[in-house]
Amino acid sequence: MGRVLLPALASAVLAAGPAGAADVPANGPPGASSCTGCHAPSKLADSAIPRIAGRKAADIETFMREYRSGAWPSSVMGRIAKGFDDQQTQAIAAWFAAQPE
């Protein structure tokens, strides 16, 4: 009995480990899901908030840097941009750029 249970337990532990990482491709990198609440990931959703899906990653990064420094006026983005460092912003920008326009 013990010989049967042990491998089962080990594989259950292994399966629990990388489960979180498997979510990344679908939802984008960490932080991206906090953007899509306002910036729809596709043009199917029509809203007053500028669409950033399909935009150039470099453009999105530039906006985020300017919002963070306050160089570019904003209502909410200044506060939001401050929550992400350059590396996180880069990953999020690349993900949005890869989404259908």
Question: Which residues form the interface with ligand HEC (CB under 6 A)?
Answer: 31, 34-35, 37-39, 49-50, 52, 60, 63-64, 74-77, 80, 84, 92
In the complex with ligand HEC, the residue whose CB is nearer, 6 or 82, is 82
**CA–CA gap between residue 53 and residue 21 (Å, rounded):** 22
In the complex with ligand HEC, the residue whose CB is nearer, 2 or 37, is 37
Least Å distance, CB 41 to ligand HEC, is: 11
Least Å distance, CB 62 to ligand HEC, is: 8
Residue 75's CB is within 10 A of a number of other CB atoms, namely 6
- Please state at what angle helix 86-98 crosses helix 57-69, rounded to 10 degrees: 140
**CA–CA gap between residue 66 and residue 81 (Å, rounded):** 9
